[in-house]
Structure formats: C-alpha cells, structure tokens
A and B are shown apart, each in its own frame.
Chain A
C-alpha cells in the first residue's frame, strides 16, 4: 500500500479530523490539574462546613484560596466540557440534535465558569 499522505500532513500529525491528539491531551492535562485542585476543594469544604457566613467569606477572601478556587473552576469546566462532548458524540446520532447539544454543552460550561469565577473574584477582592 502506498501512503497517500503528504509529507506536510505527516509532519503536522493532525490526522483526518485536523485535531490530532488535542482533545485527549487537554482531557489528561486538566485531569492532572484537577487532582490537587479538587482535593483542596474537598478539604476546604470539610474544614468550613457549617461555619458562619463571616468565617466562610473570610476564608474565600484569602488570596491563595481565591486563586486555587479560580484555577479549580477553570480546569474543572474545561475537563467537564471535553468529557460531555465525548458522551454526546457517542450516544446522539441525529446530526441536528448532536450539534445543538454540543453547542449547549459549550454554553453551559462557559456560563458555569463565568458565574463561578465572578463569585470567586468578588470574594477575593473583599466581597
């Protein structure tokens, strides 16, 4: 069999979908980031569960906590968008429905990210 791919295509290594391993790689990079970020999140929730508003808001205004919360939100929504994209592509075969859900998936992830980040920043800058 002759290889029909051009030398440029081989060098780029992006395959027929023109994305290469980009989706897989982003999924893994955000997964690696999520491990410490969500462990921090769980420990934070455990430590401050049932605490008063002043204590919780005070903790969230700590710069380190605010930055970690912000990073958790960003890494989390990118990871969940990629994951849900695969689920939609696996199970939804009607083209119109699939494209609509893929767009909704992106919108949902961005809205959750924007709302959460705004809250984190507001708290970080002192409520």
Chain B
C-alpha cells in the first residue's frame, strides 16, 4: 500500500503557480501568524520583567531598546498589524462577500499597503510620545 501511494503522480504545488496578490497575502497571513506565535515569548518576557522588579525590567528594556531589539519589535509590530488586517479580510469573506477577483485582489493590496502605513504611523506615534 505504501508503494502504491508513493508512486502516484503529484498535482502541481505552490512553486508552479503565478504569484498573485491574494495567494501571497494568504501565505503571509500564515507566516505572520507563526511569527506572532514566537513573538508571544517576547510579550511574556516583557510582562514577567515588569513583574520582577526594577533591575530586571531595566535590563530587558535595554535589550529591547537596542538597535537589534528595535528591529525585532518593528517586525513584530508589522506582523501583528498585517495579521490583524488579514483577519478583517477574513471577516468580510465570512459574511459571504468579497470573493470576486477584483474585490479580493483590492483587499489583498489594501492589506499589505495598509499594514506598512499603519506600522510606520504606530512607530512615529511611539517616538513622538517619547520626545
């Protein structure tokens, strides 16, 4: 039985199809989801640091505030916003609307463009608050 199933021809997979916006956003929704999954370690770490007292909190803040730390947080922000906008797209589809190619493609572009704009705005707001 194993031999029979292993020798069956396979249908074409991801790599053979043209990369269209809806497909790319679908893949990115899953990738950002996985990134956020790992990112909860950062959230938990930060909460634990705040609960552990000043010395440890300052140490964690220094790491997160360093250049590599900020780059990770920037990536986390973008992943969160992208996944959130992608989720809203799914809410629209859940109502049975937005499946036609024009609308779904437009929503895909809105997801990527919106996620970049919102991420930049959030970080501008973050820096504006500090200075």
Residue-wise interface mask of B (50-89) relative to A, using a CB-CB cutoff of 8 A (1 in contact, 0 not): 1101100110010001000000000001001100100110
Total interface residues in chain B, CB < 8 Å: 33
Q: Are B43 and A116 in contact (CB under 8 A)?
A: yes
Given contacts A80-B40, A127-B53, 17 further A-B contacts (CB under 8 A): A28-B94, A31-B90, A42-B122, A49-B129, A49-B130, A50-B61, A50-B130, A53-B57, A53-B58, A80-B37, A84-B33, A87-B30, A87-B33, A115-B47, A116-B40, A120-B47, A123-B51
Chain B residue with Cβ nearest A46: B126
Is the CB of B120 closer than 8 A to any CB of chain A? no
The complex places the Cα of A69 from the Cα of B43 at a distance, in Å, of 11
Is the CB of B107 closer than 8 A to any CB of chain A? no
Is the CB of A63 closer than 8 A to any CB of chain B? no
The B-contacting residues of A in range 74-97, CB under 8 angstroms, are 76-77, 80, 83-84, 87
The complex places the Cα of A23 from the Cα of B81 at a distance, in Å, of 23
Residues of chain A within 8 A (CB-CB) of B57 are 53, 56-57
Point out the residue from B33, B48, B65 that lies within 8 Å of A83, measured CB to CB. Answer: B33
Residues of chain B within 8 A (CB-CB) of A84 are 33-34, 37
Main secondary structure of the interface of B (DSSP, over half): helix
Instruction: Show 5 A/B contacts (Cβ-Cβ < 8 Å), sorted by A.
Output: A35-B87, A53-B53, A53-B54, A87-B33, A122-B51
Which of B51, B58, B81 lies at the interface centre, i.e. has the most chain A CB atoms within 10 A of its CB? B51
Is the CB of A107 closer than 8 A to any CB of chain B? no
Q: Are B130 and A119 in contact (CB under 8 A)?
A: no
CB distance from B101 to the nearest CB of A (A): 24
Q: Given the known inter-chain contacts A116-B47, A119-B51, A123-B50, please indicate yes or no for A83 contacting B37, CB distance below 8 A.
A: yes
The complex places the Cα of A42 from the Cα of B47 at a distance, in Å, of 14
CB distance from A97 to the nearest CB of B (A): 17
Is the CB of B41 closer than 8 A to any CB of chain A? yes
Residue-wise interface mask of B (84-107) relative to A, using a CB-CB cutoff of 8 A (1 in contact, 0 not): 100110110010000000000000
